[in-house]
Amino acid sequence: MTAPAQVRAAVIGTSGWADSAHLPGLQARGDVEVAALCGRNPERLAALAGKYRIPRTFTDYRQLLAEVRPEVVVIATPNHTHAPMARAALEAGAHVICEKPLALDAGEAAQMLAQAEALGRRHLTFLTYRGLPATRYLKTLIDEGYLGRLHHVQGCYLHASWLDPARPASWKTIRAEGGSGVLHDLGAHVIDLLQWWFGPVARAAGSLQTFIGERQRDGVRVRVETDDATACALEFEGGGQATLQLSRVAPGRHNYQRFELYGDRGVLVYEYDQPWAHIGRIWGARAGAYDLEPIPIPAALTDGFAGQETFPAIYRAVTDPFFAALDAPGPSPAPSFAEGLAAQRVIDAVARSAASGRWEAAAFA
């Protein structure tokens, strides 16, 4: 029997995230061939191509698109490059997987979505934590009515990745290239999860602060233009509110997430801080009880997710619907560019609020 044809994919970007997430995730899929890789640094490009046995390399993504004509393009590059690269890939006939945040702002994200839809391309915003067993099971519990009507959420996503003042500046510290700092970086995940669970955010209020105001870049001290920490309050269209703390300068935290979700029928708590197990934990209690108990996550969701080399399991959970839909009718499965745009609208509202000092609607200005 003839083996099914593999989808020919190309990856643009050679960052640590491309190396630890996208390339092993794609390589682990039996239905995908990574036919080409593009990056700015020739030495880094050659090293990753050798590691993952990728036959063709390019330093210009336009040349890659013209010569390889991939069916799927994965964009894992700095934020300010997402929109031009995605538009070029869509125009060249490719379906697109784009890293979060989808764009610098909602205007760019809306253009990307409109172009993808007009051309009939599949599109996906790579929002990692939709693939975690805990977040997926939490969605099930919420939809089944465990919380009842939402009252409020208290949440945080904390990291120490920029705590060291000696860490050099990068595109993530430049507003024109990153959009913002931790708000774009970690906030995209948090906002997407909350809107996945509870529906659209109506309005937002926020505060952005930078604690390490200068860093070295190429031997010169430069100003840090983006936020190290963001605090924000959100109100949902369907009722309920959320307060969130995001930080990239939190001592003792590697990749810590915690959300306490309170409704009129119960409380659910989600926590994730497992560098070598991509599962998460859930506790809950019904209204009237005062002791939260662990809620086991079904084995059908957790199988294959524990262990150092298990990120491909998350990758499959996020990308399986996308690849299954390449030749199927209907809309692009979530999280598509539509979900990326929805998160970007809230990010923009938080940033506008930090500048204006007022609540801002989570829609275009």
For residue range 167-179, list pLDDT tens digits in order. 999 999 999 999 9
Residue 311 within a domain: no
Residue 1 within a domain: no
| Euclidean distance between CA atoms 274 and 156, whole angstroms | 15
The CATH number for 169's domain is 3.30.360.10
Residue 2 within a domain: no
Average per-residue pLDDT for the chain:
96
Residues 283 and 140 in one domain: yes
Which pLDDT score is estimated for 211?
98
Which pLDDT score is estimated for 5?
82
Has residue 271 got a pLDDT over 60? Answer: yes
| Euclidean distance between CA atoms 201 and 23, whole angstroms | 33
Which pLDDT score is estimated for 212?
98
Residues 182 and 328 in one domain: no
Which pLDDT score is estimated for 365?
43
Residue 250 within a domain: yes
- State the pTM of this model: 0.96
Residues 83 and 179 in one domain: no
| Euclidean distance between CA atoms 314 and 132, whole angstroms | 6
Select the highest-mean-pLDDT range: 89-103, 298-312, 351-365: 89-103
Residue 26 within a domain: yes
pLDDT in tens, 31-44: 999 999 999 999 99
Has residue 274 got a pLDDT over 90? Answer: no
Which pLDDT score is estimated for 4?
61
Residue 165 within a domain: yes
Which pLDDT score is estimated for 50?
98
Torsion of the alpha carbons at 12, 13, 17 and 23, rounded to the nearest 10:
50
Range of the domain at 37: 7-128+317-335
Q: Pull the structure tokens for residue 269.
A: 């708590």
Q: Say how many domains are in the chain.
A: 2
Residues 249 and 108 in one domain: no
Average pLDDT for 47-67: 98
Return the percentage of the chain with pLDDT > 70, whole number. Answer: 98
Residue 290 within a domain: yes
Do 75 and 85 contact (CB within 8 A), yes or no? yes
Which pLDDT score is estimated for 1?
44
Residues 43 and 82 in one domain: yes
| Euclidean distance between CA atoms 58 and 128, whole angstroms | 27
Bond preceding residue 335 cis, omega within 30 of 0? yes
Which pLDDT score is estimated for 16?
95
Residues 104 and 171 in one domain: no
Which pLDDT score is estimated for 308?
67
Residues 137 and 41 in one domain: no
Residues 30 and 154 in one domain: no
Average pLDDT for 71-93: 98
Residues 205 and 177 in one domain: yes
Return the percentage of the chain with pLDDT > 90, whole number. Answer: 93
Has residue 2 got a pLDDT over 60? Answer: no
Has residue 364 got a pLDDT over 90? Answer: no
| Euclidean distance between CA atoms 164 and 212, whole angstroms | 9
Which pLDDT score is estimated for 45?
98
Has residue 276 got a pLDDT over 70? Answer: no
User: How many Cβ atoms are within 10 Å of 360's Cβ, its own excluded?
Assistant: 21
Do 11 and 76 contact (CB within 8 A), yes or no? yes
pLDDT in tens, 206-239: 999 999 999 999 999 999 999 999 999 999 999 9
